[in-house]
Each structure stands twice: as structure tokens, then as C-alpha cells.
């Protein structure tokens, strides 16, 4: 009842007619996920070791979603979700529809929708990532190779935002630059915008998913990728595919993903990636495994690497002990330029997560990333680094987090 009253209040604030609420089921939902942490950057070179206390926000969000029966087994649905930046110091604005937001029709044929959503590639992380406590795990720090929030780049690419196309920097290709400051629809782990999605019905535990991000960001006539030296206008688009299977009462699951990103890194080239992720629940232990390989095309040639991980969870009382280990390989291909060599990392985390209810959980955990001498792998959401700048570590600097996490879903 309280959720329905809140929904009516929100809809009223947005100017939605009351009659619209009577025609479909609309609800307010969200997740509040925060942690209290001690963060330590290790000593490396002339950089001293530094330890800080911090309260971090982990993709907290809220939104509206609704469904309407159309008859004949078909349902229309929508979702509008945005970020909830609960740290005033992070200077992140609340951006409407900045997260999974779309409108679609679902029926016996499957689910067809359009808008902005996580890719089929990224959806596969739900099959294996059972080992994370709080926000300090391998997904988007090692697996997915997320960029750091500050100046230090993901070793695959510099994730800058350049209007009108993408470029190379001399140290690594820019792979996240199609939307000028938009921040969606580029690297393999990210959600895509300006996109159409299809999810098939589940047949004998098997489901196929596909996403197509249109070339809406194609450069205007006369604007070239990274300057006139390329001699070609930017025409980026991408396809993301996955096939996944679950069986044996849901204990076994496995998925395969394949992506093709056209002209994101260099003209007339296609970045590609494939991944295999899955797991098996033995009852006393839930095991997850992941492997991925990504190849970016720079002007100098291929730049690629692999990531692998294992995750475990086993029940204790009303909660679970969770842990994971992951490794990012070095990048040694010619196209990586100065970014090649000794830039991998390993990551470990372990902790206990206690569930008070389906909505509320509390956890305590330890996580660590050990960077190679040129590695800059990191988690998003950390405070400013040991030098007081953005939170990316300096090359070769290790990062450790001890955290108390709280999550509530509504």
C-alpha cells in the first residue's frame, strides 16, 4: 500500500494523469547500496603508501516501471531508471534515464524493446559472479575491464569522450569516445543507448539475446575520426549477442557471448570479443567461472587481452561466505603501443554477507587488486587517490579495501 501511494505521489509530481495509473500497473522501485571503507594504496616508486576512510555509493538507483496487458498473451512495459548519487562529495548529478530505461512489448515471440540497456554480453555476469560482497569484486574491475574514474586509463584503451568520433592517443586507443560526455554505449561491459534489443523465449532452458546499437552517432560530413590523418568519417555501431542455458533445476548455467563493435577504435575496423561464463550450485557450494577475450583495432594493429576468474559462495546461517579470484593478462600486441607489457593485475576478495530479509542485507569484506608494474586496474567509487587526485592508482600501485556494506531494495 505504501509503495502504491508513493507511486501515485511521484506520478503526480511528474504531471502524469491519474487515469493513466488506472490503465496499467506502475511501481516505484530502487536499490540503496552503501559501504563504509578503509582504503589503502600501496607504496610504489616515489609514491608513499596512503590509507583513508570513506563512505562509498555502489550504483544506488531508483526508477519507475509499469506493465499493461494488451490481450492475446502480449504485454506492453516500460522502465525509467536513474542513478542515486548518495555522496555529495562525488559531484555526480542525478541524470534521468541514465541507467536501464526502455519501452517494449513481450509475448510468446519473446521480448522486443528499445532504449538504453545492459548488453547481452554484460547480462552473462549474473551467471557466475556469486563471490562478491558489496561493490568490491572482479566485475568491471578485472572482468569487463572497466576504466578508472580518473585520468589513469583502462589498459585496453583510454576512455576519454571526444565529440564526433574516436581517436588514438599514442599510448592506447580511445575506445569510449562516441558520446561526448554521455558515458554509455562503448566498452564491452557498458550498457548501450540508441539501441534495439530482442530476447527470445526460453526453450528447454536456452535463451538467445541480441542488441543492436544504431549508428546515430555517425560523424557529420567532413568530420573525421581523430583528425584528418584518418581520412574517414566516424560511423560507429555495435552488435552484442549471447546464448545461455540453465538446467538441472537451475543448478547448472552457462552462457556464451560475442560482440562486434564497428569503427569504435579506428576507421574501417571492427573490435571483437567473446566470453564464456557460467557456474554450478553443488548445494554446499556455488561455483562460478568466467573467461573473456577482447581485441581492439588501433591504427597500429590489434590490441587485446584476456580475463579469467573463479567465484565461490557457500551458505552460513542465514547468509553466505563469498569470495573470488580473477586475473587480467598483460597486453603485448603491437597495436597497444606504449601501453603494452606488464600491465595486468590479479584481484581477490572474500567476505560474509548476512541477509536479514529479501530486501535488506549487510556484509563485511576484504578485497585487493595487485597491479603489475604498469597496471592501473581499480574499482570505481573509491575516494581520491594517495596523491589527492582522481581515484585511479599510479602505475603499479596496489589497492586494498576493507568494507562494511549495507543494501536495501524497495
Separation CA 306–CA 344 (nearest Å): 10
Please check the confidence at residue 186 and state whether its pLDDT lies above 60: no
- Cα 227–228–230 angle (5° rounding)? 85
- Domains in the chain, CATH or no CATH each: 2-409 (2.40.160.10)
Q: Residues, the chain, total?
A: 410
- Cα 36–392–384 angle (5° rounding)? 50
Range with the largest mean pLDDT of 139-143, 194-198, 375-379:
194-198
| CA nearest neighbour of 307 among 145, 152, 153, 177 | 145
Distance (Å) of CA 217 to CA 99, 193, 220: 19, 10, 9
| CA nearest neighbour of 157 among 186, 130, 125 | 186
Give me the mean pLDDT over the 271-296 stretch.
Answer: 93
Give me the mean pLDDT over the 200-225 stretch.
Answer: 80
Q: 255 or 139, which is more confident? A: 255
Separation CA 32–CA 407 (nearest Å): 6
Q: Produce one character per residue of 113-144: b if its CB has 16 or more CB atoms within 10 Å, e if not.
A: bebbbbbbbbbbbebbbbbbbbbbbbbbbbbb
| CA within 13 Å, CB half, 12 | 7
Please check the confidence at residue 29 and state whether its pLDDT lies above 70: yes
Please check the confidence at residue 66 and state whether its pLDDT lies above 50: yes
Q: What is the pLDDT of residue 169?
A: 40
Please check the confidence at residue 117 and state whether its pLDDT lies above 80: yes
Please check the confidence at residue 167 and state whether its pLDDT lies above 60: no
**Helix ranges, 159-245 (H):** none
Share of the chain above pLDDT 90, in %: 47
| CA nearest neighbour of 236 among 210, 218, 211 | 218
Q: 387 or 405, which is more confident? A: 405
Q: What is the pLDDT of residue 190?
A: 75
Q: 122 or 227, which is more confident? A: 122
Sign of CA dihedral 194, 297, 126, 325: negative
Q: Produce one character per residue of 12-48: b if its CB has 16 or more CB atoms within 10 Å, e if not.
A: eeeeeeeeebeeeebebebbbbbbebebbbbebeebe
Amino acid at each position: 500500500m505504501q509503495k502504491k501511494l508513493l507511486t501515485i505521489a511521484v506520478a503526480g509530481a511528474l504531471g502524469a494523469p491519474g487515469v493513466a495509473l488506472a490503465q496499467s500497473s506502475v511501481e516505484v522501485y530502487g536499490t540503496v547500496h552503501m559501504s563504509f571503507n578503509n582504503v589503502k594504496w600501496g607504496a610504489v616508486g616515489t609514491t608513499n603508501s596512503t590509507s583513508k576512510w570513506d563512505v562509498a555509493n555502489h550504483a544506488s538507483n531508483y526508477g519507475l516501471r509499469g506493465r499493461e496487458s494488451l490481450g492475446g498473451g502480449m504485454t506492453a512495459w516500460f522502465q525509467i531508471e536513474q542513478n542515486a548519487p548518495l555522496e555529495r562529495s562525488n559531484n555526480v548529478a542525478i541524470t534521468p534515464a541514465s541507467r536501464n530505461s526502455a519501452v517494449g512489448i513481450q509475448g510468446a515471440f519473446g521480448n522486443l524493446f528499445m532504449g538504453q540497456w545492459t548488453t547481452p554480453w554484460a547480462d552473462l555476469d549474473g551467471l557466475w559472479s556469486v563471490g562478491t560482497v558489496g561493490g568490491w569484486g572482479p566485475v568491471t574491475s578485472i572482468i569487463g575491464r572497466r576504466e578508472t574514474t580518473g585520468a589513469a586509463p583502462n589498459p585496453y584503451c583510454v576512455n576519454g569522450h571526444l565529440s564526433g568520433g574516436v581517436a588514438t592517443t599514442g599510448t592506447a586507443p580511445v575506445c569510449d569516445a562516441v558520446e561526448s560526455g554521455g558515458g554509455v554505449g562503448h566498452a564491452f561491459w557498458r550498457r548501450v543507448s540508441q539501441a534495439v534489443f530482442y530476447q527470445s523465449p526460453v526453450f528447454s532452458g536456452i535463451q538467445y539475446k541480441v542488441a543492436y546499437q544504431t549508428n546515430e552517432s555517425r560523424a557529420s560530413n567532413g568530420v573525421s575520426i581523430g583528425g584528418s590523418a584518418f581520412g574517414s568519417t566516424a560511423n560507429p555501431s555495435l552488435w552484442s549477442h549471447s546464448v545461455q542455458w540453465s538446467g538441472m533445476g537451475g543448478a547448472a548455467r552457462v552462457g556464451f557471448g560475442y560482440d562486434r563493435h564497428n569503427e569504435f577504435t579506428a576507421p574501417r575496423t571492427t573490435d571483437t570479443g567473446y566470453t564464456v561464463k557460467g557456474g554450478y550450485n553443488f548445494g554446499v557450494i556455488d561455483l562460478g567461472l568466467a573467461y573473456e577475450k577482447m581485441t581492439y583495432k588501433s591504427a597500429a594493429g590489434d590490441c587485446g587481452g584476456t580475463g579469467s576468474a573463479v567465484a565461490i559462495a557457500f551458505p552460513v546461517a542465514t547468509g553466505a561466505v563469498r569470495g573470488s579470484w580473477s586475473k587480467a593478462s598483460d597486453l603485448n600486441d603491437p597495436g597497444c603501443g606504449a601501453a603494452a607489457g606488464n600491465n595486468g593485475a590479479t584481484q581477490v576478495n572474500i567476505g560474509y554477507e548476512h541477509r536479514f530479509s529479501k530486501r535488506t542485507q549487510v556484509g563485511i569484506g576484504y578485497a585487493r587488486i595487485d597491479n603489475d608494474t604498469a597496471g592501473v586496474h581499480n574499482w570505481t567509487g573509491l575516494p581520491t587517490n594517495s596523491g589527492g587526485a582522481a581515484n585511479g592508482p599510479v602505475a603499479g600501485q596496489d589497492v586494498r579495501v576493507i568494507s562494511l556494506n549495507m543494501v536495501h531494495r524497495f
